[in-house]
Amino acid sequence: MVLKDELGPHLGMDIFMVFGLNLRRLRMPQRLTQEAAGDLMQLERAHFSRAERGVQNVTLKTIDKVSRILGCEWSDLFDKKAASAYAATLTTKSPRVAKPKIAPRKRKRARYT
């Protein structure tokens, strides 16, 4: 018997998150932007983005479009182990590099004589 903790911390995620992570995992190597992938699948970019983040429910038609466009099987989109492994490789937002502060210009006063 395999315990949940042995497989990694991300396997407790719901089916929407699994689908979204696999969607991104399969889209990125093809160098498709969310907008380009959405256009190919006849989906709005916002809808595609929500599906990829795991907050949007998708229909069977959408799953079929995704699998055809990305060249994968339906089962690849619901693979928990692959989603967990991919999630483990993701990092949080990279720290922003502070811009150098520039001293404000001193305004010259107009001289009235």
Identify whether 96 is part of a domain. no
Identify whether 6 is part of a domain. no
Q: Cα separation of 75 and 56, whole Å? A: 19
Identify whether 110 is part of a domain. no
Instruction: Tell which residue, 14, 20, 11, 28, has the closest CA to residue 58.
Output: 20
**Count of structural domains within the chain:** 1
Neighbours of 74 (CB within 10 A): 11
pLDDT digits (tens, 9 = 90+) for 22-47: 999 999 999 999 999 999 999 899 99
pLDDT digits (tens, 9 = 90+) for 39-69: 999 989 999 999 999 998 999 999 999 999 9
Identify whether 102 is part of a domain. no
Please state the pTM of the whole predicted model: 0.68
CATH code assigned at 54: 1.10.260.40
Identify whether 26 is part of a domain. yes
Domain that holds residue 32: 13-88
Identify whether 75 is part of a domain. yes
Identify whether 101 is part of a domain. no
Tokens linked to 90: 């993701």
Identify whether 106 is part of a domain. no
Instruction: Look up tokens 């720290």; give the residue.
Output: 95
Neighbours of 41 (CB within 10 A): 20
